[in-house]
Structure 1
Amino acid sequence: MEPSSVLEEIEMSMEAAIEHMGVEFGSVRTGKASPALVENVVVDVKSYGSKMKLRELAVITTPEPRQIMIQPYDASTVEDIDRGIREAQLGFNPVNEGKTLRLPIPELTEERRQEMVKRVKTISEDIKVRLRGCRKDGMDAGKKMKAENVLTEDSLRDFESDIQALTDKFVKAADAATAEKEAEVMTV
């Protein structure tokens, strides 16, 4: 095990966590229609006998700024998709038009915006926990390399400071993304 490869691995894990945060933030409503609001809704498709994500079952578009249109690949899944969206409790009331579903996006109230900000903070905190987990893995790898005499006492200290610097960098990026999303959610 080489210290540089461990650092690279840790950095890739932290980047993946930040990318995941971006995906999660995409599912938080900001008052504008976006396919990301519903694409990860899990739908129990009775005719297929399995659970699938909405993006695997339909084309999701935004024909208007305050509306999402869902066009299933298989028209027989419209009822299942309708039920899946309602069960996800996203605050949408799908309008079934036979072969398609329309989701009007209601205006966000101040109270609902505060709930969304709480959700953004929860997502952010979860990502920070993942980042700290990556940091711990790196620190443990450093101690293991010291035990195997790959690292000296001084190089272990340098390695740990590099891990901490990476952690600080990604926590700062997470905080910046969180502040940006909070501002977006609170903008009327």
Structure 2
Amino acid sequence: MSQTFDLAELKRRMQGAVATLKHELGGLRTGRASASLVEPIHVDAYGQHTPLNQVATISVPEPRLIAVQVWDKALVGAVERAIRDSNLGLNPNVEGQTLRIRTPELNEQRRKELVKVAHKYAEESRVAVRHVRRDGIDILKKLLKDHAIPEDDEKRHAVEVQKATDDVIHEIDALLATKEKEIMQI
């Protein structure tokens, strides 16, 4: 099977990393409870890493309270552990199969912790984008080696891939800066 170079496909994959970052940053709430705060959390369920919303119903009955209704009684402990280990500073109270999570007031230290989490999410997105760039460059090198494209085309496409990468990294940095400003605002 011969590979083909498709810049549009590489850009689509890079935008996937941006979409994931937007979703994760949306979960970093600045003072209000939100279901998206706990949605990125994964639970060790049935021997797999499963998203929280696939093992429980997440609701927000009050502005500072998240309720997680676990469907399988055997998973309550795993869900509680996953929430505690999520670096979000959440401490669930277990009531049967329901976990009640009070969202803490944001003090200066908590805001700084949230900014660190936001930076971690952004770095994961940058790494994902760089992986896509590497895949694209590898395809170009292989096509050049197989004499499927001339050297000029390989160089031109490599520059296009790098420009697309730079644009997406810039977009990620802008999203991070906006979220950081939002978190630190009192």
TM superposition score category, shorter chain reference: 0.7 to 0.9
| Whole-angstrom CA distance in 1 between matches of 2:13 and 2:87 | 31
Contact 2:31 2:104 in 1 (8 A): yes
Partner residue in 2 for 1:124: 122
Q: Does 1:19 align with 2:23?
A: no
Where does residue 35 of structure 1 map in the other structure? 35
- Percent identity over the alignment is 39
Q: TM-score, normalised by structure 1?
A: 0.81
Inter-CA distance 49–11: structure 2 relative to 1 (3 Å threshold) = closer
Say what the alpha-carbon RMSD is for the aligned residues: 2.6
Aligned to 1:180: 178
Are the equivalent residues in 1 in contact too, given 2:87–2:117 (CA < 8 A)? no
Q: CA deviation at 1:34?
A: 1.2
- Measured in 2, the distance between the counterparts of 1:9 and 1:166 equals 11
In structure 1, C-alpha distance between the alignment counterparts of 2:143 and 2:163, rounded to whole Å: 19
- Aligned partners of 2:141 and 2:43: how far apart in 1? 45
Q: Quick one: which amino acid aligns to residue 175 of structure 1?
A: D
Contact between 2:67 and 2:98, CA under 8 Å: does it hold in 1? yes
- What secondary structure does 2:91 align onto? coil
Match of 1:2 among 4, 17, 27: 4
Task: Give the secondary structure class of the aligned counterpart of 2:100.
Answer: strand
Q: Report the equivalent of 2:156.
A: 158
**Bigger Rg, structure 1 or 2:** 1
Distance 1:133 1:65, change over 3 A: same
Q: Which residue is 1:96 aligned to? A: 94
Residue type of the alignment partner of 1:168: D
Q: Distance in 1 between matches of 2:135 and 2:69?
A: 44
CA separation of 1:115/1:86 partners in 2, compared to 1, >3 Å: closer, same or farther? Answer: closer
Partner of 1:86: 84
Instruction: Give, in angstroms, the shift of residue 51 of structure 1.
Output: 6.7
Distance 1:56 1:65 in 2: 23
The CA deviation at 1:87 is: 4.6
Report the Cα offset of residue 167 of structure 1: 0.7
1:102 and 1:53 mapped to 2: Cα distance? 18
For 1:51 and 1:149, locate their aligned partners in 2 and report how far apart those are by CA, in whole Å.
43
The one-letter code of the counterpart of 1:62 is V
The unaligned stretches of length 5 or more in structure 1 are none
Give aligned pairs, total. 184
Residue 114 of structure 1 is aligned with which of 95, 106, 112? 112
For the residues of structure 2 that align with 1:91 and 1:60, how far apart are their CA atoms? 18
Bigger mean CA deviation after superposition, 94-103 or 15-24: 94-103
**Structure 2 length as normaliser, TM-score?**
0.82
Which stretches in structure 2 are left out of the alignment for 5+ residues? none
Question: Following superposition of structure 1 onto structure 2, how do residues 58-97 of structure 1 map, counting pairs within 5 Å?
Answer: 58-74=56-72, 78=76, 81-88=79-86, 90-97=88-95
CA pair 137-93 structure 1, distance change in 2 beyond 3 A: closer
